[in-house]
Structures are given as C-alpha cells and as structure tokens.
Amino acid sequence: MIRLPSSPQGAPGTVRKAALGLAATALALTALPATALPAQAAPDPLARYHHQSLDWKSCVLGPDDATGKELEQAGARCADVTVPLDYSDPGGRTITVAISRIRATDTAHRVGPLLLNGGGPGGRTIGDPPWVRQAMQDVGARYDVVGVDPRFVGRSTPLDCHWPTGSAFRSAGVDRAGFDRMTTFSQDLAQRCRQHAGDVLPYVTTRNTARDLDVIRAALGERRISYLGYSYGSYLGEVYTTMFPGHTDRVVLDGVIDPDRYSPRLLRGTEKANRHALEGWASWAAARDTTYGLGRTRGAVLATVDHVRAAATRAPLRLGTHRVDEHTVPLVVFNGLSQDNDAAYGDFAQGVRDMLRAADGHRVTPSPWLAEALTFMLTGADSHYGSVQMAIVCGDIAAPRDPEVYWRDIQHARVRDALFGPVTNNLTPCAFWNPPSERPTTIRRDLPALLVNATGDPRTTYEGATAVRRTWPSSRLVTLRGADQHAVYGVYGAPCVDATVNAYLATGRLPAKDVTCGARPVNAGPDRDPTGERRRIVDGHPATPVARPRGESTGTSGQRVLR
C-alpha cells in the first residue's frame, strides 16, 4: 500500500508552461484599454468544505469499541469531514468522511500530515495510525498520522446493499452449470445494490475518494499532504497525485497496481503468483505433517488440496453451520495465500485440515480462521464490506457485460490452473452494473514516489510495480525478493524495507537507485508452533505483527479477496 519529495512536482513541463502563461497574460494586459481591469478569480465552489472547522473528539464510540480505545491510547482524536456527495453539485447533498489523527510531537521538525489508505477497496483505515506510527519509528514524531475511512466505508456515511455475503467473489466451479449459478448470483447482488443504494452508487468512485482527500487536506489547513497507500490504496494515490498535482509531498505506494491494468477484472493474471504461493505454503505444511496431517511432501499437500476441492464438487462439505461447495473451497484457498509467515501459514493449514476432515466424512467445528472466513463469505454479517468494494470497482471502470466473455476466459484459464483460473476470471456484479458516471483517470507520466513490492505478491503482482517504475522514471522501487507477501512496509518485518521507507519519510530524498532487500527465512524447522501473535490486517489479509491488529477491520481471516 507512499510520499513525494518536499518540493511540489507537476507534470513534465508544468513550470515552463506556467511561466509562459504568465508572460502571455502580461502581454495581453498591456493591450487592454486603460479603463479595463483584469478579471476576478472565480470563487472556489468548494470553499465551505475547504474552510470547514473540524470538531476533534474522542474516537471511542462505546464500551465495546476496541478500535476507538486503541486510538485513544495512542493519543489520537477523531473528526467527521463534510464533503459533497456529488462534486458537480457542491451545493447539494452532503456526506461525511471519518478521520483519526495522531499529532506530531516533534513540532520543531514537523513535516506535515501523512494520510493513510489500507486498500480493499472498501478497507477501513481509521484505526491504522497507531501501528503505522510505530512502524515509522523516530520519524513518526514529525508527522500528523491521519487514518481515513473513505466515503461509504466504516465510520463514514455508510452504504450497504444488504447482501447475503461479505464478498461477491466466487469460483465459477467445474462446469457450465456452476458458471450459470454464479451468473445468477452476481445478477442478484447487482440488483440488491440498485434497490438499496441506487441513489448514491454513481458517486462511489476512486475519483470522488481522491476529491475527498483533497477536501481533508484543505480542512486540515495544509498546502500539501504526504500519503501512504497499500494495494488498492496505491491506485488511489496514483489518481490523487494526477488529479491534484502539487498537493503532495512524500508518497509511498506499497503493493503497487499498474493503473493501465486497473479494472473490475484486476485479479486476472495472478494465477501464477498464487500457484507459487500455494506451493511455498505446501512445502511449509509438509515439514509439519505430524501437526497438520496434510502430507509429508509438497506434492502430497497439494494433492490434499485437490482432494478437498474434488470432494466439495461432489457434495458440499459440512463445517459447523456452513456448507462449503465447489464455489467457495477455491476461494478459501485463494484467501489463505496473501501473507508469508508462520502464523498465517498455520491458520491456513488448520483450515485445510478442517476441510479435509469434513471431506472424509467427519463432523467438524471449524478453527477460528476458517470459521471467520466462512461467516464472511456465506452470511451477510459483513455485507457492508462487499457492497462498498464492488461499488467502487464497478463504478470506476466498466466491465464486459456478456457472460460468454467470462466463460471463454475461464475455460482458457482452467487449462493453465484448474484451481485459481475459475476464481480470477469469474464474472462479478460489475457485469450487471450501470455504466460509470465519468471516465477513469489517465495517470500522469512521472512522479517521484517510493514504490514497494514483494516479488511473490499474489494480489498486486510484482509486474505491476515494475510497470509503474518504468512509467515514473523519477520514482524508485524497493523490492522484497523471495517473499510471497502482500504489503511489506511495517507489515512483513523486513528491516531493509522499513529503514529505506523511513529514511525517505525523514528526508524527502529518494534513494539514489532502486533498492533490493532479501526476505527473512520462513521457519524451516518441522512442527514448530505458529507464533501465536495476533496479526495486523492489510486489505483484510492477515499480516505479521508490528503492533496490534489493524484498526476496525471486521475480520482477521484473510477473507478480503481484492487488494
């Protein structure tokens, strides 16, 4: 899921064009009659939002508000920022965007605000300042660290389509009948959003979220902000810096999305990275066969996964109160593969063991990781998350509307990877969504940002980071080599990466050249217990501990399918 050098940067040639524009204006003014006066600057249509007074208050919403208590403990205060629902009608309906802030304590060397986005899309970020502040180490004292729940997310004005699931993603299954079931499923989800949230859906976009960030900047009384965005948050950062050139200072993007590939079908092409991650986990599990009983070799563990999938295809598996079928087993596997550490591997291995026992006819009470993942996928307990996630990706860029396009892609992908291909190529409610209300942003051609990515990232693949690095020659890329890890800075525990990012945040100077850091070895000893430490959530995926679990995420099971 960061920031720019301290001098404002525009698109190439911006300064020269501005100077020429001023010269031309001066020449034009000399030709005016003596009585003529230069035109007055147009009034700011967003003035009432830019100059609003924020009411900073306690972040604690009630006795059971763990996120608020954690923010309070870290010295944070919270506020609601009023923004227009529709920026083309700033005098119309308004909504609120919830923010939290831990203020700088080293005021003599204060840099300014650092705004956060943890990805998703649809991920809650208001609870993130405490752990980000800790990851920043000494340099954190020089920033106001600001968490933002984007429009319609978390504590901001809500959106909920009342879905019977927290995620629109499923596997297409093994045949045309399964695909047709998923088509009907996606049609139903799209219809529910039109029914319950149709009046706001046109305004649930990344471009409007970027506009909200700029209102927050102005309401904080700042000329520029620094920005840290993970995963989908990297795309939001790309959009913001393009729409508001000169309004950013230091920008770090971690888990980088290639904006030329951003679409509702962003998971396409990740099959190879997910297969690599699955194989890495399988080797880990094989070394712990006496603990998990999944097989003594990598091949045997992979065969166990295939056995579970085949059993669920024949008849749904019973796991507690849930029935897990050919559409959900591949999704459980996919969701277990975003973090490269012992604790995440252990959770996933326990989940596979539970599904294996169910496949073999045993009555199973699922482990906490699997129980939470299944509750998220198979009930409406977190309908809000899936609703907002789809509203954003469907509202940004149109998806193909013909189901046959998806069926052909699934059939081709199935040949390459029968497990992941039907997940990453399946259709979603975006196939049945209304067209976007505005064109997507054409991302600027250069930006001196710091990019961070792991070579084995199964969500935002490394190719995306290298593509942005080529597009932005002034940027620098920090590569974590040899890790199948989604989100790195402050998450994975790579001192080389964290030190590089913190040096940039401290000085505003990018490294002289790209930086490559080595992954820490995953515990290779047999049958070692997982750490037992709680893991923070980035984009809803569990991550290695730095501080406490991430803010207000409603799940810790890695169930958030997108970034």
Give me the active site residues, please: 231, 457, 486
Sign of CA dihedral 214, 499, 473, 443: negative
Q: Could you give the dihedral angle defined by the CA atoms of residues 231, 232, 235 and 240, in that order, rounded to the nearest 10 degrees?
A: -110
Strand 317-319 versus strand 322-324 pairing type: antiparallel
What tokens were used for 515? 């930086």
Phi, psi of 391 (to 5 degrees): -60, -40
248-254/450-454 β-pairing: parallel
Helix 383-396 to helix 206-219 angle, to the nearest 10 degrees?
Answer: 100
CA distance 81 to 88: 18
Give the C-alpha separation, 216 to 144, whole Å. 13
DSSP state, residue 326: T
Residue 147 three-state SS = strand
Which ranges constitute the DSSP H helices of 74-175?
Answer: 129-135
Do 534 and 320 form a contact (C-beta atoms < 8 A)?
A: no
How many angstroms separate the most distant Cα atoms in the chain? 94
Position 376: which residue type?
Answer: F
Neighbours of 104 (CB within 10 A): 19
Cβ neighbour number for residue 323 with a 10 Å cutoff: 15
Let me know: does 257 contact 460? Beta carbons within 8 Å.
Answer: yes
CA distance 96 to 410: 40
Q: How far apart are alpha carbons 548 and 180 in whole angstroms?
A: 42
DSSP state of 114: E
Q: How far apart are the first and last CA of the chain?
A: 9
CB-CB contact of 218 with 457 (8 Å): no
Q: Quick check: 227 and 3 in contact, CB under 8 A? A: yes
Nearest to 68 by CA among 149, 126, 116: 126
493 and 546 in contact (C-beta within 8 Å)? Answer: yes
How far is it, in rounded angstroms, from Cα 256 to Cα 230?
7
Structure tokens at 175: 């045949």
129, 113 in Cβ contact below 8 A?
A: no
* Pairing of β 536-538 and β 541-543: antiparallel
